[in-house]
Amino acid sequence: MLKFGTVKKPSDFMEQIAERHRALRKRAGYSQSELARRSGVSLGSLKRFESTGQVSLESLLKLVEILDRLEDFEWVLKPAEDLDRIEKLFSDKTRA
């Protein structure tokens, strides 16, 4: 959790994602063992993830697929709009 300062660290994101995942799992009515079985992720990996935030990307994607949240990852590392192209539209050099 973000204790001091305003910049989040990787560990802050890991903790937050683990907490959100645990809440989603419980809201969906899955026990850890049931979600592990359905996703193909080992129970040990799921328990470690929910307690420490540590999990492989492949396992995380398998888990969130069962929770119907895989589409949330569409935005991860998505390229930003090409700001250079947008700036050119408003540049004095391109105006007639």
Spell out the domain ranges in the chain.
1-69
* Cα atoms in the 13 Å half-sphere on the side-chain side of 33: 0
Pick the CATH number of 1-69 from 1.10.3720.10, 3.30.420.10, 2.40.30.170, 1.10.260.40: 1.10.260.40
H or E element that contains 45: helix 43-52
**Where does the pLDDT of residue 88 fall: very low under 50, low under 70, confident under 90, or very high at 90 and above?**
confident
Mean pLDDT of 77-91: 72
For the stretch 1-45, pLDDT in tens is 555 667 889 999 999 999 999 999 999 999 999 999 999 999 999
The pLDDT tens digits of the residues spanning 40-83 come to 999 999 999 999 999 999 999 999 999 999 999 998 888 777 66
